Structure 1
Amino acid sequence: MRKSLLFTFFVLAALFMTLPMEKAEAAPTLKVGSTVGDVWDLQFRLNILGYYQQKPDGVYGLRTSDAVRRFQTSYGLPPDGVTGPKTWRVLKRISVNQKELDIMAKIIHGEARGESYKGQVAVGAVVMNRVKSPLFPNNVTAVVFEPRAFTAVDDGQYWLTPNSTSYRAAIDAIRGWDPSGGALYYFNPDTATSAWIWSRPQLLKIGKHIFCS
């Protein structure tokens, strides 16, 4: 019986080794005339960043191509108006899709709805700074839901319905306004109990939050 099980194991292992490995899906290359679903995502991201002024329509026309070209110029990419893997890589690192925008607005509302507008943008900026930092996950969803990263997620305030101000603050943070001074952390000194967070180099204070590197 033991020999039979071992034989079966080695047969299955050998079969597994011969199966073709599934390759990661390559980023789609989009150009004038493309109408696939990824065009909607592209236009949404460019709109959030301020490069595409029209409402997304899913059609890669001359206006989309021009928006891509201006984005590429801003980030040192060949300005050919074609959205290939390199353009996608940069775009996804600094922008968000609709779901991620909603997450940004919720975390800002949950963490800082009683703060000034500048303070709300600063909280959003910390999220974006983490996305861009090698010390944290490289997308908004993973950053926000990293265990014990944000009090609002832990105590449920994240699930409150964000208002229009929270969305505006999220967009301003995504577009690069960073009142936090490049902070990766922040805390409320009146409620913080972690000795570790007090040890972080403090950059500035906005409202009730101290922002740290």
Structure 2
Amino acid sequence: MKKHKQWIFAVLTLALAAAPFTGLLYKTNGAVYANQNNNASVMMESTLSEKEALPAFGTVPLRVGSSGQDVYELQGRLKHLGYYDGAIDSQFGTKTMNAVTWFQWKFGIEADGIVGAKTKLKLYNATKAWKPTEASTSTAQKTGTSENTGTSNSAELTSGDAMGLSENDLKIMANAVYGESRGEPFEGQVAVAAVILNRVKSPNFPKTPSGVIFQPGAFTAVADGQIYLEPNEQARKAVQQALNGWDPSGGCIYYFNPKTATSKWIWSRPQVKTIGQHIFCM
């Protein structure tokens, strides 16, 4: 009986001695699982918050030369805040860029005129009350995109009617831009289109884009036949931007590539700026 009591006492002693370790193990496991559950909860809350704050814009950065539904929304939201007073035409031109830069400066973002993720999020959060109530004036919006109808290329260029330009004039402008500057940055392509329009407006040149482009010796693309290459979408957009009033050349009526130019006369013209491989001059 005495030994039996000793065994019971020993078992109780061991149980009491092991109790703190059992509690620690339980607590440790409990902490692990609690942390896992808490992390899952935080992740879920974070995901929901991101979804709630996620802009309706697409993921592609917007800049001068961009067009489409995202630009329509950008212009609408900027106009809602009073930063933009132009037409909601779905075309990212100089006026839209100025509005973007103003908004970025006011909201403490780098004022580079490019609408990236940070600018989109700030703009979205600042305009949650905005609704797309203003109709777009873009012909492309009315006729649909090229993915839907396959006809937007010519439709986008019909806004040139404001200058009294024919559809053929606009098409040949796109051909000229593509033939002359397809390897140039987009700004340089718009500048080439702007030079064509500047010549049309000048009393010293023919009065139509076709007349300007096919004037003898005026464009290399005509001389070497590249004028007849099928232009891509970027060349068409460059023409559209020039028609919308963007002139990166600063009003120039000439340009040349210093690496390939053979005319000594062209070097005598007052040079305004260099874009890509081209020097633009008056």
Shorter-normalised TM range: 0.5 to 0.7
The AA in structure 2 aligned to 1:180 is S
Q: Distance in 2 between matches of 1:92 and 1:138?
A: 14
The equivalent residue for 1:104 is 173
Runs of 4+ in 1 over 6 A off after TM superposition: none
Q: How far apart are the structure 1 equivalents of 2:214 and 2:223?
A: 9
Equivalent in the alignment of 1:186:
255
Aligned pair 1:212/2:255, yes or no? no
Match of 1:113 in 2: 182
2:186, 2:208 → 1: CA distance? 24
Determine what percentage of the aligned residue pairs are the same residue.
53
Decide which structure has greater helix share.
2
> In the alignment, which residue of structure 2 is the partner of 1:142?
211
- Count of aligned pairs: 133
Partner of residue 195, structure 1: 264
Say which structure, 1 or 2, has more relative contact order (CA 8 Å, 6+ apart): 1
Partner of 2:223: 154
Specify whether residues 150 and 93 from structure 1 end up closer, same or farther in structure 2 by C-alpha distance, changes over 3 A only. farther
Q: Structure 1 stretches of 5 or more lacking a match? A: 1-47, 56-90
Give the letter for the 2:266 counterpart: I
AA aligned to 1:210 is I
Residues 140-184 of structure 1: per-residue CA shift (max 9 Å, x gap): 110110000000000111111100110000111111100001000
Higher Rg: 2
Question: What is the CA deviation profile of residues 98-118 of structure 1, one whole-angstrom value per residue up to 9, with x for unaligned ones?
Answer: 211110100000000000000
Determine helix, strand or coil for the equivalent of 1:205: strand
When the two chains are superposed, the root-mean-square deviation of aligned CA atoms in Å is 2.4
> Which residue, 239, 242, 245 being the options, matches 1:170?
239
Query: Scaled by the length of structure 2, what TM-score is found?
Result: 0.44
Deviation per CA, 1:164-207: give whole Å up to 9, x if none. Answer: 11000011111110000100000000011101100000000000
TM-score of the pair, normalised by structure 1: 0.58
SS in 1 for 2:211: helix
Which amino acid in 1 is paired with 2:236? Y
